[in-house]
Amino acid sequence: MIALALMFRPRNITILLLLLSSIPLLAQRPGDIDIDQIKRATVFIYQVESALNDLVIKCVSSGTLISADGLIVTNAHSVLPGQQCDGDQLIVSLNVDLSEQPIPKYRAEVFSADAGLDIAVLRIARELDGRLISKGGLPILPFVEVGDSNAVAIDDNMIVAGYPDFGNQPVAIARGTVTAFVSEPIGRGPSWFKTRAEIPGAMSGGGAYDSAGRLIGIPTNAPFGGLAAAATCRYIADTNRDGLVNNSDACVPTGEFVSTVRPISHAQSLIRAARHNLKVNIATALANVPAPLHPPRASRLFFAPSVADGGPSTVVGAMPNNTKSLFLFFDYDNMTAETVYELRVTRDGIPDTTFSLPPVRWSGRESGLWHIGSREQAWANGAYEFTLLINGTSVGSKRIVVGGAAESSSQFSDIVFGTLDQSGALVGNGSILPLGDIASARFLYANMRANAPWSAIWYFSGAEVARSTDNWSDANHGAKVIKVAPNGGLQPGQYRLELYIAGALSATSDFIVAGRPAGPLPEIFTNIRHTSVDSPLAARAAPSSTSFPGSIQGLYALFDWRQIAPGTPWTLRWLVDDQAFFQATQPWLTVDSGRDLTVWIDQPPDGSYKLQLLVNNLKLAEEEVTIGIGQLPIDRLSQSEGTILSGKIIDATTRIGIPSVTIVLVSEDYAASEFLWREDQIFALATSDRNGDFQFARPLAFDTFYSMVIEADGYIPLAADEFDFSADQPYAEIEIAMAPG
Amino acid sequence: MEFETGRTPAIQITPRQRWSIAITYFLLICGFALGVNQRDSTLNQASVYSNLEAGISASYPARWLLEESGAYIFRVRDMSHRGYNTVIEVSTAPVGPDTTERNILDQLSLQRSQTLTDYSVLGYDSFRLPDESQAISMSYSYVARDASPFLEGVSSIVNGLDILAIRRGQAVIIAFRADISVYGRELETLRWFVQNLEF
């Protein structure tokens, strides 16, 4: 409802005549996806290299604005400097006109990124000409809400937005469904969504949306070098200045069609860190992971029907009818975040796109045990062949037949590790043991035949340390405990147990030995404490506390450690208000025992901060502190839902647009007559452009009454109350005629 | 060769035209008087700002927008001006025993050169404050543009003047900026503002 307002002031009689007409609003049915908002929030990103006063395009990608203050989520491979994309600047083009190509407007910086997960969060930091944008100097930009990718189900509709080529076309929308989930050992929920929507390679980094228009993933591919890259890259500029644009110039990769979407849940900690400007610094001794000296490789491929504590529940060579869960396991070495891996699956010789994984970046560590597969999805009967490729080269394949009746073959499964207490019971957490003399393992067995040959082989750091071979003398079904007592006791490091039946691998699992015995968990990390000083060196001598005043320069966390072998994977996780904003798993890089390792955050905002230290996903130590009021500040611009109000201001006489007029939208707490020209009474400001057009970038909340005040030199002031838009009006346009006077 | 000489015949003004001219002059005089009155009226209509914590009180033109949430103590803006909104901003900066006014102005220039297009210092001068003490002023110019990337905003050339005085161990900076087309006229508002500023 838009009302006329006639206001009379005692001294300066001002007739505020509002000649305001409402143009039919762009109605949207409840439940419809706001495609226009998605398009507006989709950006095009150039990674460029500064060269001789020129900017050379190195890579392109799409991205999505997720906050009004210029946070963009996209792929890491096209924005982080790397072998293929070696640029040093990021140019962000915005979707100014939905039907036209994007226009370069800003420069961005990578705030946080995970190269393996192939996710980066950018922050718009500079104008296009390189000038810094001061804090609060960026206009409120259109953005989309981040959804819950863990709530997505197979066959759910999905919309993908992005730019389909090198910026020559407007933003494109591809529609499809979620056809499959792919699981890998990273985080909670699916590692990938699969879709058959046709997504051009340049749309990688854009956004995938659920049926409510919330961002649920990032379409992701990974173009890699070599001959295969030539087919999916383009020569678009004379980069070598020879007067020709040909294959002697730098080629901009786009990759092949995208069929995988990285669920947004894997980006949540990066997004949270960027939203609150939280950057974690890690002491040098722990930060620099050396690059592997040898090429990446994969070995020991086998199948398992399910995953238990990151390892295979058992090892299978065939699966019965109605199989709904299957995983390929393999060992890997010398992998990096730049390694591209791919899984090609065929069924009866025909490519199976549902369970294949196109080329993507490696998201694991440098070495370890990996798995890829799916659960709760039907595997049609047939002979499957899994072929693993690393950097475009096949490194191994494995076949498995799905179908037929369930066999009652002999089987070991579900290995857990621990130590035996005085009553002979296995105690421990299953995958981490403290230092000692003996390690024990319990496993289940089924369908065992008497006198069947079986063996157990124990490894330490890849080398065999013990082996036992025997004929089966226990019952057919049950649980069994075995143990190993290496010479010199259990040393800190990584161990593995393999169980064989008649020479065939039947079960395997890994465990870590570190720390000293202390209850059910070993004690590895101790004496976590926090200080607030201005340098890591000063932190060691500063008194610790569990609460700090607001606006501190730095929050430092220190901890001691004992008996953890170099190379042991460990995880540092930092939470604010019980939400993780940093998590990194990497090999332990320093000596096995010591004191005062330091990690810190510069200028943390108010909140409750919790530091957690984990090994094998088990939380071994944590400490919480509060800063200021102990709660994160509320972002008043975080709301994306509402009505985008735009319009035109015209001269009532000439009907020509009036440029440079400021329009004040008064907040819902005040009527126009109560507006006293105070900042705290304003909901939003807009200024008309050279055509008289204006737009409030901040959406108006639905079913909320606003007022509008306009005063412009040479025109009679205007005021109106009771602007009210309902949820079916995502966009509203108004025309305001101002009478000269 | 003969030349004809003569006079242009006198223009005959009709009574109706005579009345029109008279009315036009009357309206012009009225308009001027109204303009002067309006200007005085505007200047006379003042709002008062007071910040006890910062020890600052000021009068500023009524119907200018008062803001206190930025990196300043307060600022006021003329939102009715079409184009760059004239702004007067009061802020403080810490000073050390060796800090000079010029140090602070140079620091301001370094910061602005990172964020303002074509920022250029035009000169320095002295400025007499109402209490007869001397302050230093710095004038500058830059190009401002409406920040919305989705509209066809046009750029404005902005002139600025900083007046800086050191009081009680801190620098008080009065920053004044206006579109170059109205800068001279708006300086009157600045002078009036400074006359009524207490810090």
How far, in Å, CA of B100 to CA of B121, rounded? 18
> Which CATH number goes with the domain that contains A592?
2.60.40
How far, in Å, CA of B138 to CA of A566, rounded? 60
How far, in Å, CA of A642 to CA of A701, rounded? 5
Q: What is the 3-state secondary structure (H, E, C) of A438-495?
A: CEEEEEEEECCCCCCEEEEEEEECCEEEEEEEEECCCCCCEEEEEEECCCCCECCEEE
Q: Which of A5-9, A156-160, A677-681 has the lowest mean pLDDT?
A: A5-9
> Checking phi first, is residue A99 left (phi over 0); if not, alpha (psi -120 to 50) or beta?
alpha
For helices B15-44 and B183-195, what crossing angle results, to 10°? 40
pLDDT at residue A4 greater than cutoff 70: no
Q: Would an 8 Å CB–CB cutoff place B117 in contact with chain A?
A: yes
> Is residue A294, in this structure, part of any structural domain at all?
no
How far, in Å, CA of A20 to CA of A222, rounded? 52
* A46 and A23 within one domain: no
> Is residue A293, in this structure, part of any structural domain at all?
no
Q: Which of A260-274, A688-702, A707-721, B68-82 has the lowest mean pLDDT?
A: A688-702
What is the value of pTM for the model shown?
A: 0.81
* A505 and A563 within one domain: no
* Integer CA distances (angstroms), A669 to A7, A666, A674, A706, in order: 18, 8, 9, 8
Q: B81-90, pLDDT tens digit by residue?
A: 888 999 999 9
- Tell me what pLDDT residue A460 has: 95
Which tokens is A697 given? Answer: 């970038």
> Which CATH number goes with the domain that contains A690?
2.60.40.1120
Q: Find the domain containing A679 and state its range.
A: 19-29+641-738
Which residues lie across from A73 on neighbouring strands? A64, A121
Most confident of A322-326, A633-637, B96-100: A322-326
Give the residue among A244, A222, A241, A246 at the shortest CA–CA distance from A232: A222
How close B146 gets to chain A, by Cα (Å)? Answer: 7
Which tokens is A663 given? Answer: 């329009």
- Tell me what pLDDT residue A309 has: 83
How far, in Å, CA of A349 to CA of B182, rounded? 79
CB contact under 8 A, A687 and B148: yes
Torsion of CA B124, B130, B131, B137, to 10 degrees: -10
- Tell me what pLDDT residue A570 has: 93
- Rounded to whole angstroms, the maximal C-alpha distance in chain B is 92
**Confidence label for A17 from pLDDT (cuts 50, 70 and 90):** very low
Mean pLDDT of A73-85: 90
Task: Output DSSP code: residue A436.
Answer: B
For chain A, helix (H) and strand (E) counts, in that order, are 5, 51
- Tell me what pLDDT residue A260 has: 93
Mean pLDDT of A17-26: 40
Listed in sequence order, the residues at least 6 apart from A25 whose beta carbon sits closer than 8 Å to its beta carbon are: A725, A729, A731, A732, A733
Which residue in chain B has the smallest CA separation from A711? B80
Listed in sequence order, the residues at least 6 apart from B17 whose beta carbon sits closer than 8 Å to its beta carbon are: none
How far, in Å, CA of A436 to CA of A474, rounded? 28
Cα B133 versus chain centre, distance = 22
Mean pLDDT of A646-667: 92
* Integer CA distances (angstroms), A429 to A11, A110, A422, A573, A619, in order: 81, 39, 17, 20, 11
Tell me phi and psi for residue B37, to 5 degrees: -65, -40
DSSP structure string for A726-738 = -TT-SEEEEEEEE
- Tell me what pLDDT residue B37 has: 56
* A369 and A426 within one domain: no
Give the residue among A688, A416, A583 at the shortest CA–CA distance from B82: A688
* A265 and A243 within one domain: yes
> Is residue A112, in this structure, part of any structural domain at all?
yes
Q: Would an 8 Å CB–CB cutoff place B14 in contact with chain A?
A: no
Partners of residue A699 in chain B, C-beta under 8 Å: none
Instruction: Choose the closest CB to A690 out of B81, B147, B152.
Output: B152
| DSSP reduced 3-state for A342 | strand
Partners of residue A688 in chain B, C-beta under 8 Å: 151
- How many percent of chain A have pLDDT more than 70? 92
Test mutation, A9, A99, A664, A687, chain B, max B CBs within 10 A: A687
**Confidence label for B2 from pLDDT (cuts 50, 70 and 90):** very low
How far, in Å, CA of A303 to CA of A315, rounded? 6
* A175 and A47 within one domain: yes
Which residue in chain B has the smallest CA separation from A132? B115
> Which CATH number goes with the domain that contains A425?
2.60.40.2550
How close A69 gets to chain B, by Cα (Å)? Answer: 12
Q: In B9-163, which ranges are continuous DSSP H helix?
A: 15-44, 101-115
Tokens 């020991």 identify what position?
A300
Instruction: Choose the closest CB to B151 out of A679, A685, A694.
Output: A694
- Tell me what pLDDT residue A639 has: 58
Domain end, chosen from A402, A434, A454, is at A402
Q: How many CB atoms are located within 10 Å of the residue B144 CB?
A: 18
Which tokens is B128 given? Answer: 């007499």
Mean pLDDT of A651-670: 92
* A325 and A231 within one domain: no
Partners of residue A135 in chain B, C-beta under 8 Å: 71
CB contact under 8 A, B153 and A697: no
Listed in sequence order, the residues at least 6 apart from B46 whose beta carbon sits closer than 8 Å to its beta carbon are: B59, B60, B61, B62, B196
Q: B46-71, pLDDT tens digit by residue?
A: 999 999 888 889 999 999 999 998 88
**Confidence label for A83 from pLDDT (cuts 50, 70 and 90):** confident
DSSP structure string for A602-630 = ESPPSEEEEEEEEETTEEEEEEEEEETTS
Q: Would an 8 Å CB–CB cutoff place A137 in contact with chain B?
A: yes
- Tell me what pLDDT residue A223 has: 67
Mean pLDDT of A332-357: 93
Mean pLDDT of A686-698: 87
How far, in Å, CA of A122 to CA of A65, rounded? 9
pLDDT at residue A473 greater than cutoff 90: yes
* A534 and A498 within one domain: no
- Tell me what pLDDT residue A222 has: 78
| DSSP reduced 3-state for A582 | strand
> Which CATH number goes with the domain that contains A239?
2.40.10.120
Domain end, chosen from A272, A306, A329, is at A272
Question: Element (H or E) spanning A268, and its range?
Answer: helix A268-275
Task: Output DSSP code: residue B110.
Answer: H
What's the one-letter identity of residue A699? P
Q: How many CB atoms are located within 10 Å of the residue A625 CB?
A: 23
Give the residue among A416, A565, A564 at the shortest CA–CA distance from A483: A416
The C-alpha angle B80, B84, B86, rounded to 5 degrees, equals 65
How close A713 gets to chain B, by Cα (Å)? Answer: 6
> Is residue A304, in this structure, part of any structural domain at all?
no
Considering its fold, how many domains does chain A have in total?
A: 5
Selected residue with higher pLDDT from A29 and A411: A411
Q: Which of A64-73, A238-247, A276-285, A330-339 has the lowest mean pLDDT?
A: A238-247
Q: Would an 8 Å CB–CB cutoff place A537 in contact with chain B?
A: no
> Checking phi first, is residue A596 left (phi over 0); if not, alpha (psi -120 to 50) or beta?
left
Question: Element (H or E) spanning A257, and its range?
Answer: none
Instruction: Choose the closest CB to A132 out of B47, B114, B152.
Output: B114
b/e per residue A416-455 (b: at least 16 CB within 10 A): bbbbbeeeeebebbbbbbbbeeebbbbbbbeebeeeeebe
How far, in Å, CA of A455 to CA of A442, rounded? 14
Long-range contacts of B185-192 (CB under 8 A, 24+ apart): B186/B78, B186/B86, B187/B161, B188/B43, B189/B43, B189/B61, B189/B86, B189/B88, B190/B88, B190/B161, B192/B43, B192/B59
Q: Which of A218-227, A576-585, B81-90, B93-102 has the lowest mean pLDDT?
A: A218-227
Give the residue among A724, A720, A727, A741 at the shortest CA–CA distance from A664: A720
Query: Rounded mean pLDDT of chain A?
Result: 87
Selected residue with higher pLDDT from B19 and B81: B81
Tell me phi and psi for residue A341, to 5 degrees: -125, 160
Q: Would an 8 Å CB–CB cutoff place B118 in contact with chain A?
A: no
Q: A533-546, pLDDT tens digit by residue?
A: 888 888 888 999 99
- Tell me what pLDDT residue A430 has: 83
Q: A421-430, pLDDT tens digit by residue?
A: 888 888 887 8
* A76 and A175 within one domain: yes
Selected residue with higher pLDDT from B43 and A535: A535
How close A327 gets to chain B, by Cα (Å)? Answer: 49
Test mutation, A42, A107, A660, chain B, max B CBs within 10 A: A660
How far, in Å, CA of B110 to CA of B142, rounded? 13
* A363 and A425 within one domain: no
pLDDT at residue A6 greater than cutoff 60: no
* A168 and A107 within one domain: yes
Q: Which of A97-111, A255-269, A372-386, B16-30 has the lowest mean pLDDT?
A: B16-30
| DSSP reduced 3-state for A330 | strand
Selected residue with higher pLDDT from A727 and A182: A182
> Is residue A634, in this structure, part of any structural domain at all?
no
Selected residue with higher pLDDT from B154 and A680: A680
Q: A88-97, pLDDT tens digit by residue?
A: 999 999 988 8
Mean pLDDT of A476-483: 94
The pairing of strands A547-548 and A618-627 is parallel
Helix/strand/coil percentages in chain B, nearest 5: 30, 40, 35
* A247 and A162 within one domain: yes
How close B35 gets to chain A, by Cα (Å)? Answer: 12
Q: How many CB atoms are located within 10 Å of the residue B29 CB?
A: 10
- Tell me what pLDDT residue A165 has: 83
How close B59 gets to chain A, by Cα (Å)? Answer: 14
> Is residue A247, in this structure, part of any structural domain at all?
yes
Q: How many CA atoms lie within 13 A of A327 on its CB side?
A: 23
- How many percent of chain B have pLDDT more than 70? 84
Mean pLDDT of A253-279: 90
Which tokens is B87 given? Answer: 């702004």
> Is residue A306, in this structure, part of any structural domain at all?
no
> Please, what sign has the CA dihedral across residues A241, A243, A249, A253?
positive
Test mutation, B73, B89, B148, B181, chain A, max A CBs within 10 A: B148
Instruction: Give residues 41 to 80 of B whose Cβ lies within 8 Å of A.
Output: 41, 45, 47, 62-71, 79-80
Q: Do the Cβ atoms of A75 and A220 come closer than 8 Å?
A: yes
> Which CATH number goes with the domain that contains A330?
2.60.40.2560
**Confidence label for A497 from pLDDT (cuts 50, 70 and 90):** very high
Q: Would an 8 Å CB–CB cutoff place A475 in contact with chain B?
A: no
Q: Do the Cβ atoms of A436 and A489 come closer than 8 Å?
A: yes
Which tokens is A622 given? Answer: 């944590």
* A606 and A507 within one domain: no
Instruction: Give residues 62 to 101 of A whose Cβ lies within 8 Å of B.
Output: 94, 96
Q: Which of A25-34, A107-116, A254-263, A725-734 has the lowest mean pLDDT?
A: A25-34
> Is residue A707, in this structure, part of any structural domain at all?
yes
